Amino acid sequence: TLKGKTAVITGSNSGIGLGVARELARAGADVVLNSFTDRDEDHALARALGEEFGVTARYIKADMSKGAECRALIEQAGVCDILVNNAGIQHVAPIDEFPQDKWDAIIAINMSSAFHTTAVALPLMRKAGWGRVINIASAHGLTASPYKSAYVTAKHGVVGMTKTVALECAREEITANAICPGYVLTPLVESQIPDTAKKYAMTEEEAKQKVILERQPSKEFATTEQIGGTAVFLCSDAAAQITGTTISVDGGWTAL
Ligand code: NAD
Protein backbone atom coordinates (compact mmCIF):
# COMPACT_ATOMS: atom_id res chain seq x y z
CA THR A 1 0.00 0.00 0.00
CA LEU A 2 1.05 3.55 -0.70
CA LYS A 3 -0.68 5.01 2.35
CA GLY A 4 1.26 7.99 3.66
CA LYS A 5 2.95 8.65 0.31
CA THR A 6 2.15 11.68 -1.81
CA ALA A 7 2.27 11.51 -5.60
CA VAL A 8 2.48 14.52 -7.89
CA ILE A 9 1.37 13.75 -11.44
CA THR A 10 1.93 16.42 -14.08
CA GLY A 11 -0.70 16.84 -16.80
CA SER A 12 -3.27 14.76 -14.93
CA ASN A 13 -6.70 16.23 -15.62
CA SER A 14 -7.16 13.80 -18.53
CA GLY A 15 -5.82 10.70 -20.24
CA ILE A 16 -2.84 8.73 -18.92
CA GLY A 17 -2.01 11.22 -16.16
CA LEU A 18 -5.50 10.90 -14.70
CA GLY A 19 -5.37 7.11 -15.10
CA VAL A 20 -2.05 6.99 -13.22
CA ALA A 21 -3.41 9.29 -10.50
CA ARG A 22 -6.45 7.03 -10.09
CA GLU A 23 -4.38 3.85 -9.73
CA LEU A 24 -1.95 5.48 -7.26
CA ALA A 25 -4.94 6.75 -5.23
CA ARG A 26 -6.53 3.29 -5.39
CA ALA A 27 -3.28 1.99 -3.88
CA GLY A 28 -3.66 4.52 -1.04
CA ALA A 29 -1.45 7.42 -2.12
CA ASP A 30 -2.46 11.05 -1.65
CA VAL A 31 -2.35 12.73 -5.03
CA VAL A 32 -1.71 16.14 -6.55
CA LEU A 33 -3.33 16.61 -9.94
CA ASN A 34 -2.06 19.27 -12.36
CA SER A 35 -2.65 21.00 -15.63
CA PHE A 36 -2.28 24.51 -17.03
CA THR A 37 -5.95 25.44 -16.52
CA ASP A 38 -7.56 26.56 -13.26
CA ARG A 39 -11.24 25.75 -13.76
CA ASP A 40 -13.78 24.69 -11.14
CA GLU A 41 -13.99 21.32 -12.88
CA ASP A 42 -10.24 20.76 -12.37
CA HIS A 43 -10.62 21.16 -8.60
CA ALA A 44 -13.88 19.16 -8.64
CA LEU A 45 -12.07 16.32 -10.40
CA ALA A 46 -9.51 16.18 -7.57
CA ARG A 47 -12.25 16.32 -4.91
CA ALA A 48 -14.18 13.46 -6.55
CA LEU A 49 -11.04 11.33 -6.86
CA GLY A 50 -10.21 11.94 -3.19
CA GLU A 51 -13.70 10.90 -2.13
CA GLU A 52 -13.75 7.82 -4.37
CA PHE A 53 -10.53 6.39 -2.92
CA GLY A 54 -10.50 7.94 0.58
CA VAL A 55 -7.26 9.85 0.02
CA THR A 56 -6.27 13.50 0.01
CA ALA A 57 -6.39 14.83 -3.55
CA ARG A 58 -5.47 18.35 -4.56
CA TYR A 59 -5.32 20.15 -7.89
CA ILE A 60 -2.51 22.65 -8.50
CA LYS A 61 -2.42 24.76 -11.65
CA ALA A 62 1.00 25.05 -13.28
CA ASP A 63 2.02 25.39 -16.92
CA MET A 64 4.62 22.73 -17.69
CA SER A 65 5.94 24.77 -20.63
CA LYS A 66 7.45 27.20 -18.09
CA GLY A 67 10.37 26.11 -15.93
CA ALA A 68 9.47 28.38 -13.02
CA GLU A 69 5.91 26.98 -12.89
CA CYS A 70 7.21 23.39 -12.96
CA ARG A 71 9.36 24.18 -9.95
CA ALA A 72 6.52 26.04 -8.20
CA LEU A 73 4.24 23.00 -8.62
CA ILE A 74 6.53 20.82 -6.51
CA GLU A 75 7.21 23.62 -4.02
CA GLN A 76 3.48 24.17 -3.58
CA ALA A 77 2.87 20.44 -3.18
CA GLY A 78 5.39 20.60 -0.30
CA VAL A 79 5.90 16.86 -0.31
CA CYS A 80 6.57 14.60 -3.27
CA ASP A 81 7.39 10.94 -2.63
CA ILE A 82 6.28 9.86 -6.09
CA LEU A 83 6.85 12.15 -9.06
CA VAL A 84 5.13 11.20 -12.30
CA ASN A 85 6.27 13.35 -15.23
CA ASN A 86 3.44 12.85 -17.67
CA ALA A 87 2.42 16.16 -19.25
CA GLY A 88 2.85 16.00 -23.00
CA ILE A 89 1.61 17.26 -26.33
CA GLN A 90 2.08 16.16 -29.93
CA HIS A 91 2.47 17.84 -33.31
CA VAL A 92 2.95 16.01 -36.59
CA ALA A 93 4.76 17.62 -39.56
CA PRO A 94 7.80 16.96 -41.75
CA ILE A 95 10.93 18.44 -40.15
CA ASP A 96 11.46 21.04 -42.88
CA GLU A 97 7.95 22.35 -42.26
CA PHE A 98 7.89 21.82 -38.49
CA PRO A 99 6.70 25.06 -36.82
CA GLN A 100 9.44 26.41 -34.54
CA ASP A 101 6.99 27.33 -31.79
CA LYS A 102 5.66 23.74 -31.76
CA TRP A 103 9.20 22.40 -31.53
CA ASP A 104 9.93 24.68 -28.54
CA ALA A 105 6.65 23.80 -26.82
CA ILE A 106 7.13 20.05 -27.21
CA ILE A 107 10.72 20.14 -25.96
CA ALA A 108 9.62 22.29 -22.99
CA ILE A 109 6.48 20.36 -21.98
CA ASN A 110 7.52 16.80 -22.88
CA MET A 111 11.16 16.98 -21.77
CA SER A 112 12.43 20.05 -19.89
CA SER A 113 9.49 20.04 -17.44
CA ALA A 114 10.79 16.72 -16.09
CA PHE A 115 14.19 18.33 -15.43
CA HIS A 116 12.62 21.15 -13.43
CA THR A 117 10.20 19.02 -11.39
CA THR A 118 12.84 16.37 -10.66
CA ALA A 119 15.34 19.00 -9.53
CA VAL A 120 12.92 20.25 -6.87
CA ALA A 121 11.42 16.86 -5.96
CA LEU A 122 14.69 14.99 -5.26
CA PRO A 123 15.59 16.98 -2.12
CA LEU A 124 12.06 16.27 -0.79
CA MET A 125 12.49 12.54 -1.53
CA ARG A 126 15.90 12.58 0.18
CA LYS A 127 14.37 14.23 3.24
CA ALA A 128 11.73 11.47 3.32
CA GLY A 129 14.36 8.78 2.71
CA TRP A 130 12.36 7.23 -0.14
CA GLY A 131 11.26 8.23 -3.59
CA ARG A 132 10.10 7.20 -7.03
CA VAL A 133 10.56 9.17 -10.24
CA ILE A 134 8.35 7.79 -12.99
CA ASN A 135 8.63 9.39 -16.39
CA ILE A 136 5.92 8.69 -18.93
CA ALA A 137 8.04 8.42 -22.06
CA SER A 138 6.71 6.49 -25.08
CA ALA A 139 7.52 3.78 -27.60
CA HIS A 140 8.78 6.91 -29.37
CA GLY A 141 11.42 7.17 -26.62
CA LEU A 142 12.92 3.96 -28.04
CA THR A 143 12.05 4.05 -31.75
CA ALA A 144 11.07 6.75 -34.24
CA SER A 145 8.28 7.53 -36.68
CA PRO A 146 8.43 10.05 -39.50
CA TYR A 147 6.93 13.51 -38.95
CA LYS A 148 7.27 13.38 -35.17
CA SER A 149 10.75 14.90 -34.83
CA ALA A 150 10.10 17.03 -31.74
CA TYR A 151 8.16 14.31 -29.93
CA VAL A 152 10.70 11.57 -30.70
CA THR A 153 13.57 13.86 -29.69
CA ALA A 154 11.90 14.85 -26.42
CA LYS A 155 10.95 11.26 -25.52
CA HIS A 156 14.47 9.92 -26.25
CA GLY A 157 15.72 12.79 -24.08
CA VAL A 158 13.43 11.75 -21.23
CA VAL A 159 14.76 8.19 -21.41
CA GLY A 160 18.31 9.57 -21.14
CA MET A 161 17.38 11.82 -18.24
CA THR A 162 15.78 8.85 -16.47
CA LYS A 163 19.08 6.90 -16.61
CA THR A 164 21.04 9.90 -15.30
CA VAL A 165 18.67 10.48 -12.37
CA ALA A 166 18.82 6.77 -11.52
CA LEU A 167 22.62 6.89 -11.33
CA GLU A 168 22.62 10.05 -9.22
CA CYS A 169 20.28 8.35 -6.71
CA ALA A 170 21.62 4.82 -6.99
CA ARG A 171 22.81 4.59 -3.36
CA GLU A 172 19.54 5.95 -1.99
CA GLU A 173 16.07 4.44 -1.75
CA ILE A 174 15.08 6.47 -4.79
CA THR A 175 14.52 4.93 -8.21
CA ALA A 176 13.91 6.55 -11.59
CA ASN A 177 12.30 4.69 -14.48
CA ALA A 178 10.41 5.44 -17.66
CA ILE A 179 7.19 3.78 -18.77
CA CYS A 180 7.02 3.56 -22.55
CA PRO A 181 3.41 3.19 -23.69
CA GLY A 182 2.43 2.29 -27.20
CA TYR A 183 -0.91 3.70 -28.33
CA VAL A 184 -3.39 4.41 -25.55
CA LEU A 185 -6.84 5.68 -26.52
CA THR A 186 -6.74 9.12 -24.85
CA PRO A 187 -7.81 12.57 -26.10
CA LEU A 188 -4.26 12.98 -27.50
CA VAL A 189 -4.72 9.96 -29.80
CA GLU A 190 -8.46 10.40 -30.42
CA SER A 191 -7.76 13.85 -31.84
CA GLN A 192 -5.53 12.24 -34.51
CA ILE A 193 -8.22 9.80 -35.71
CA PRO A 194 -10.46 12.06 -37.86
CA ASP A 195 -7.47 13.49 -39.77
CA THR A 196 -5.96 10.06 -40.23
CA ALA A 197 -9.28 8.72 -41.53
CA LYS A 198 -9.60 11.59 -43.96
CA LYS A 199 -6.00 11.28 -45.14
CA TYR A 200 -6.40 7.57 -45.97
CA ALA A 201 -10.07 7.83 -47.06
CA MET A 202 -11.14 5.34 -44.41
CA THR A 203 -13.76 5.17 -41.71
CA GLU A 204 -12.54 6.20 -38.26
CA GLU A 205 -12.73 2.56 -37.11
CA GLU A 206 -10.55 1.47 -40.06
CA ALA A 207 -8.12 4.30 -39.34
CA LYS A 208 -7.79 3.08 -35.75
CA GLN A 209 -7.18 -0.54 -36.72
CA LYS A 210 -5.17 -0.20 -39.95
CA VAL A 211 -3.19 2.98 -39.45
CA ILE A 212 -2.90 3.83 -35.75
CA LEU A 213 -2.56 0.25 -34.50
CA GLU A 214 -0.47 -0.77 -37.51
CA ARG A 215 2.70 -0.83 -35.41
CA GLN A 216 1.08 -2.35 -32.33
CA PRO A 217 1.17 -6.15 -32.89
CA SER A 218 -1.52 -6.83 -30.26
CA LYS A 219 -3.90 -4.68 -32.38
CA GLU A 220 -5.31 -3.36 -29.14
CA PHE A 221 -4.84 -0.03 -27.42
CA ALA A 222 -3.15 -0.11 -24.02
CA THR A 223 -5.39 1.37 -21.31
CA THR A 224 -4.76 4.18 -18.85
CA GLU A 225 -5.44 1.65 -16.06
CA GLN A 226 -2.59 -0.52 -17.36
CA ILE A 227 -0.19 2.42 -17.40
CA GLY A 228 -1.35 3.30 -13.88
CA GLY A 229 -0.89 -0.28 -12.73
CA THR A 230 2.66 -0.25 -14.07
CA ALA A 231 3.34 2.93 -12.07
CA VAL A 232 1.96 1.27 -8.91
CA PHE A 233 4.28 -1.69 -9.52
CA LEU A 234 7.27 0.66 -9.84
CA CYS A 235 6.33 2.05 -6.40
CA SER A 236 6.27 -1.43 -4.81
CA ASP A 237 9.08 -3.14 -2.86
CA ALA A 238 9.33 -5.70 -5.67
CA ALA A 239 10.57 -2.89 -7.91
CA ALA A 240 13.11 -1.44 -5.46
CA GLN A 241 16.06 -2.66 -7.59
CA ILE A 242 14.50 -1.61 -10.87
CA THR A 243 16.10 1.71 -11.72
CA GLY A 244 17.38 3.57 -14.76
CA THR A 245 15.39 1.50 -17.17
CA THR A 246 12.28 1.50 -19.35
CA ILE A 247 9.16 -0.66 -19.15
CA SER A 248 7.29 -0.93 -22.42
CA VAL A 249 3.50 -1.25 -22.32
CA ASP A 250 3.08 -1.33 -26.06
CA GLY A 251 1.45 -4.57 -27.23
CA GLY A 252 4.76 -5.68 -28.78
CA TRP A 253 5.54 -2.52 -30.79
CA THR A 254 9.22 -2.33 -29.81
CA ALA A 255 9.68 -6.09 -30.31
CA LEU A 256 9.13 -5.68 -34.05
P1 NAD B 1 -3.83 13.89 -23.07
O2 NAD B 1 -3.88 14.98 -24.07
O3 NAD B 1 -5.06 13.13 -22.73
O4 NAD B 1 -3.24 14.42 -21.70
C5 NAD B 1 -2.17 15.31 -21.65
C6 NAD B 1 -2.22 15.98 -20.30
O7 NAD B 1 -1.18 16.97 -20.25
C8 NAD B 1 -3.53 16.72 -20.06
O9 NAD B 1 -3.91 16.56 -18.72
C10 NAD B 1 -3.16 18.16 -20.38
O11 NAD B 1 -3.98 19.07 -19.69
C12 NAD B 1 -1.74 18.18 -19.88
N13 NAD B 1 -0.95 19.28 -20.43
C14 NAD B 1 -0.78 19.62 -21.73
N15 NAD B 1 -0.02 20.74 -21.82
C16 NAD B 1 0.29 21.08 -20.56
C17 NAD B 1 1.02 22.14 -19.98
N18 NAD B 1 1.60 23.11 -20.74
N19 NAD B 1 1.11 22.21 -18.63
C20 NAD B 1 0.52 21.28 -17.86
N21 NAD B 1 -0.20 20.25 -18.33
C22 NAD B 1 -0.30 20.16 -19.66
O23 NAD B 1 -2.66 12.92 -23.57
P24 NAD B 1 -2.17 11.49 -23.06
O25 NAD B 1 -2.28 10.59 -24.21
O26 NAD B 1 -2.80 11.12 -21.78
O27 NAD B 1 -0.64 11.80 -22.84
C28 NAD B 1 -0.02 11.81 -21.57
C29 NAD B 1 1.45 11.46 -21.72
O30 NAD B 1 1.57 10.14 -22.23
C31 NAD B 1 2.21 12.37 -22.71
O32 NAD B 1 3.50 12.63 -22.21
C33 NAD B 1 2.26 11.51 -23.96
O34 NAD B 1 3.35 11.86 -24.75
C35 NAD B 1 2.41 10.14 -23.34
N36 NAD B 1 2.08 9.04 -24.25
C37 NAD B 1 0.81 8.92 -24.75
C38 NAD B 1 0.53 7.86 -25.60
C39 NAD B 1 -0.85 7.64 -26.18
O40 NAD B 1 -1.00 6.79 -27.05
N41 NAD B 1 -1.87 8.33 -25.74
C42 NAD B 1 1.53 6.95 -25.94
C43 NAD B 1 2.80 7.12 -25.42
C44 NAD B 1 3.06 8.17 -24.57
pLDDT digits (tens, 9 = 90+) for 55-74: 999 999 999 999 999 999 99
Q: Is 85 in the pocket of ligand 1 (CB under 6 A)?
A: no
Q: Is 150 in the pocket of ligand 1 (CB under 6 A)?
A: no
pLDDT digits (tens, 9 = 90+) for 154-186: 999 999 999 999 999 999 999 999 999 999 999
- For ligand 1, atom 23, the nearest C-alpha belongs to 188
Å from CA of 171 to ligand 1 middle? 32
3-state secondary structure the chain: CCCCCEEEECCCCCHHHHHHHHHHHHCCCEEEEEECCCCHHHHHHHHHHHHHHCCCEEEEECCCCCHHHHHHHHHHHCCCCEEEECCCCCCCCCHHHCCHHHHHHHHHHHHHHHHHHHHHHHHHHHHHCCEEEEEECCHHHCCCCCCCHHHHHHHHHHHHHHHHHHHHCCCCCEEEEEEEECCECCHHHHCCHHHHHHHCCCCHHHHHHHHHHHHCCCCCCECHHHHHHHHHHHCCHHHCCCCCCEEEECCCHHHC
Q: Is 136 in the pocket of ligand 1 (CB under 6 A)?
A: yes
Å from CA of 136 to ligand 1 middle? 9
- Catalytic annotation on 151? yes
Q: What's the mean pLDDT in 97-118?
A: 98
pTM over cut 0.95 = yes
Q: Is 189 in the pocket of ligand 1 (CB under 6 A)?
A: yes
